[in-house]
Chains A and B, each alone.
Chain A
């Protein structure tokens, strides 16, 4: 699978999410953790969605994840050169996020649920770097 980064929808950071996107540029997967109840959460917001506490800190995720679920889209999309998987991964820290899975055939035979993954940052454009994932141990 090839991704045409010119055709990828570009996220527009907000004040609440800017740390996440600057983290991607720095090669860090920045999550947030409640100072009070220690809950790790995503997507970003300046308070804990569990207890409402505003005192929260940035936590750099390990980048390790597992493949939770996915579909393989067969309809044409300008950013992808053929059928491509849209996945939800679960990070080691327990939060989930959407991603594409790089460096692996986009087939049910190759994409096995629960397979170990690691984050793979790719610059797209307008200063945005996206967090993708790839099999842990894949050739870079």
Chain B
């Protein structure tokens, strides 16, 4: 049996998603934070811990007028927020602070007040990867997949089905960017970006943000929303260079973060009612299902293509439509966390009935880092 020590009592995204040229990046953090505070029935004065990535926690705390007792600026890419949740649990449990605000905001499409990121030519990736013409995640994050397809016997059609099934979820979500049904044929015939990935298999590029508020579990019932308890979590890193993965067909960081999350939560795979796997590209749910142990080696493609993760399937996955159809600002992990919170609360647009346990799994960089959070509707399990 495990008992949660910390719960999420406030959760919200930015008021708008998609194209938000009227807001700078720091204001996207603030907009989401103010919405999350309203959701929790709290004010800025109640916050004494701040965690964020993309902006410094110093900048976010100052912008919001918060004098924190604790900050976490862990920035390992899009799953940073999963790690912030994990670190916030430890901080609250050990008394370093009492009420943590985790923020994300990213002007990914409009580029208003957003710092650029590129490897220095003297870094290892600058020396040993950049000269060969990589153009960011579309050409590097995707690079392992041909090896994965060959070694696992997964087909291009099964890879394409990831985008098709997630569009089915997005169709149920009014806030999703892309809602029109699509097909395996249409996905495969879409504009080629980096073979074998067509545009439909690459994430959206949008603006947006989100924020979470966490407090000790024993206080969690004093807030307006149903508490979402953090039952367990895990984190790890592997490499900042895609060419240096131990095995192009498995993520060591996924395996380590996932195993630790399941172990600390004291759950089995059969206990999971709802799953989020960060999908910057269509292959990530395949890696995630196998590396987290939901599917055996080479089984994830058929599992998704046969509808097991679709609306009505046995393992609802990426129910907001995911990075492929819902939104993707650059660091999508916050939106995966928001959807897990909504499903556990029972407030998601594409509501899955009776979600007791949701697993939310994130990736950072390009298979560089990982964070997994297990959320529960019950404090004790």
Contact = CB atoms under 8 A, between A and B. Distances in A.
Given A69-B144, A86-B134, 12 more contacts: A9-B130, A11-B130, A12-B127, A14-B122, A68-B248, A69-B145, A71-B145, A77-B135, A83-B192, A88-B144, A98-B242, A108-B196
B15 interface: no
Given A86-B133, A98-B243, A43 B124 contact: yes
Contacts of B241: 43, 98
A23 B80 CA distance: 38
B133 A77 contact: yes
B156 to A, nearest CB: 10
A55 to B, nearest CB: 22
B62 interface: no
A113 B146 contact: yes
Contact of A69 (B129, B131, B146): B146
A73 B135 contact: yes
A98 B134 contact: yes
B248 A43 contact: no
A104 to B, nearest CB: 15
A80 interface: yes
Contacts of A57: none
Most buried by A among B133, B139, B144, B146: B133
Interface of B: 120-122, 124, 126-135, 138-140, 142-148, 150, 191-197, 241-245, 248
B368 to A, nearest CB: 15
Contacts of A17: 124, 127
Nearest to B193: A74
B128 A80 contact: no
Contacts of A42: 244
* From A68, A73, A87, residue with most partner B Cβ within 10 Å: A73
Contact of A9 (B121, B140, B148, B195): B121
Interface in A48-105: 68-75, 77, 79-80, 83-84, 86-88, 96-100
A79 B133 contact: yes
Q: Which of A14, A70, A83, A124 has the most CB of B within 10 A?
A: A70
Interface of A: 8-14, 17, 21, 42-43, 68-75, 77, 79-80, 83-84, 86-88, 96-100, 108, 113, 124, 130
Contacts of B131: 8-11, 124, 130
Contact of B147 (A12, A68, A77, A84): A68
Contacts of A9: 121, 126, 130-131
Contacts of B245: 96
A71 B279 CA distance: 18
Contacts of A8: 131, 133
Contact of B194 (A43, A73, A96): A73
A80 B142 CA distance: 19
Contact of A11 (B126, B142, B248): B126
Contact of B127 (A11, A96, A108): A11
Contacts of B244: 42-43, 96
A71 B135 contact: no
Contacts of B140: 86
Nearest to A21: B127
Task: Report, nearest first, the 8 A-B pairs whose CB atoms are least far apart.
Answer: A69-B147, A11-B127, A72-B195, A12-B122, A98-B243, A71-B194, A12-B121, A9-B130
Contacts of A96: 243-245
Contacts of A12: 120-122, 126-127
Contacts of A72: 192, 194-195
B121 A10 contact: yes
Nearest to B121: A12
A69 B146 CA distance: 6
A98 B144 CA distance: 11
B142 A71 contact: yes
B133 A100 contact: yes
A84 to B, nearest CB: 6
A73 B191 CA distance: 12
A86 to B, nearest CB: 5
A45 B310 CA distance: 46
